[in-house]
Structure 1
């Protein structure tokens, strides 16, 4: 009897410790919508970017860029005349921010601290969308949706250096911080590698079964790329050879993804109103950790590496108009004064 009692006691203790570990681990890894930052204006949106040094958030918003102080969550500046703005690239070492103007086919160069216009760079590329500042080469790469190419700008002189043909419609891009750039090619289901020194495409990799890749992130330590696709898949790719390491399910309507290097978590922002959180155990082991509820339309995302908070822009939607001959694919209207940036953070924070 004594022996059995000790055995049952030990078994209960082990079970209790196991449950405590599971609950604790789950709690530490659980994210939630913590607050909403209200921003004036009723136009659409695309990318947003965090200035880590000054703790400012730059938000694309129709024909302007709103700048939010992340300590007070207040709008402190509005950068005007950025028609059809899509991408925003921060260059702290040059005290500049580069902004694509999709409707005017140019890039606005703005002072990172005063928010005053430095220059407007006209490019041959049509409908510049995503943009990347590559610190290793001190060059800016804009990805032009209509021309299927990338425009390269010298970030110091603000002069166009070259146009790189990409053979398909480019989306988001990342750098390995050592002179290699990776860009999703949406209509070809590919990732292309660009050498930032020679400004040539050196690799083209298929990421099938991934279809219509948009957002892209990178783990610089494990050399893994995370490409999120329109068919509800995240494709994990070895950045050294293009080998697909893992395919993971994500939510619908995704357009963005970020990687938190400290927490080893990948976050896919899904326009359906969720974030898919993926855990990286090591370079070859990945699993879906949880799905976080956000808000419909929150399809792009930025990470604050200092606070580990996530930011996602969206708004409330009205009734979608009926299709017409002149407008066969009408967009759902936005409710006035409903534009916000969602702030998502860890429960344990």
Structure 2
């Protein structure tokens, strides 16, 4: 994740988080151990950050200045996405196998509640006014809940979209962009839940971001591409560009100041044999091939 205020870039990397200077890309340090790290969120006002650790079903609370962990917080099963919501002063951890969100007091890490989502959550966004939106991967819908009361308010189906992962938000125009594994980006009205458009994207999608400078939603596709989607006419959304990246470049973030996009990947070997516990194993990562790719606006 890109922390523009702190001038840092946080990169999930297996069992640790690499911390880089956002402008120079020089390495600042690491946060470790974070077994099976997925998401990172920072709370600058409290000088703390959080990681979600899929292997230990926990979150790590760490100091932003020293990068030293202070404690591990139990979550639901397989915590994945994470979101700091400044409006409520809370951090929301989305438990993919737990079908829930663990809610923390942002400054202290104290668990203050749980949201039962009724499905496997993936990416989430906030409207900065008391509502959070989250994809449910196994239900093909977006759930809307109140950041303060934790009550679920809406469940919006994604039309033909299947297995949604990434979620981007155009707050000014009230648009949600949900990226789905059947190579579709579903555009929703964030006030009504109405499906506004279905746009083809690349395969193996994971994340999505919205660029306010160009008014574009960008999906990161594991096939090795970025799909850039824009509202070309009122109510008409199109994929205006496909940028080549590198195989496996699925995790994405955007710097809201420079509007540069970052993705990470590595070189891959063969996949291990399927097992009952892991019927769809991912290819092995080759040592010392972890790489950061940066894309800017021409």
Aligned partner of 2:17 among 65, 78, 85: 65
Residues 101 and 108, structure 1, Cα contact 8 Å, conserved in 2: yes
Richer in helix (by share): 1
Residue in 2 aligned with 1:279? 230
Contact kept in structure 2, 1:266 and 1:280, CA below 8 Å = no
Q: CA deviation at 1:239?
A: 0.5
Aligned pair 1:191/2:142, yes or no? yes
Paired residue secondary structure (1:93): helix
Q: 1:236 aligns with which of 187, 190, 193?
A: 187
Q: Which protein has the larger Cα radius of gyration, Structure 1 or Structure 2?
A: 1
Higher relative contact order, chain-length normalized (CA < 8 Å, sep 6+)? 1
**More strand by proportion, 1 or 2?**
2
TM-score by length of 1: 0.82
The SS at the match of 1:320 is: coil
Aligned mate of 1:292, from 221, 239, 243? 243
Task: Point out where structure 2 has 5 or more consecutive residues left out of the alignment.
Answer: none
Q: What whole-Å deviation, never above 9, does each CA across 1:328-349 have from its counterpart, x for those lacking one?
A: 5443122221110111122x2x
Which deviates further from its counterpart, 110-119 or 54-63? 110-119
Distance 1:264 1:273, change over 3 A: same
- CA distance in 2: counterparts of 1:274 and 1:71, whole angstroms: 24
Q: C-alpha separation between the residues in 1 aligned to 2:244 and 2:283? A: 21
C-alpha deviation, 1:72, in angstroms = 2.1
Residue in 2 that maps onto 1:222: 173
| TM-score normalised by the chain length of structure 2 | 0.95
Q: Confirm or deny: 8 A CA contact 1:164 1:199 kept in the other structure.
A: yes
Q: How many residues align?
A: 298
- Alignment gaps of 5+ in structure 1: 1-48
Q: Deviation at 1:323?
A: 4.7
Distance 1:326 1:108 in 2: 26
Kindly indicate whether the alpha-carbon contact (under 8 Å) linking 1:269 and 1:301 is maintained by their aligned counterparts in 2.
yes
Question: Are 1:172 and 2:123 matched, yes or no?
Answer: yes
The CA RMSD measured in Å over matched residues stands at 1.6
Matching residue of 2:44:
92
2:282 is the counterpart of 1:334:
no
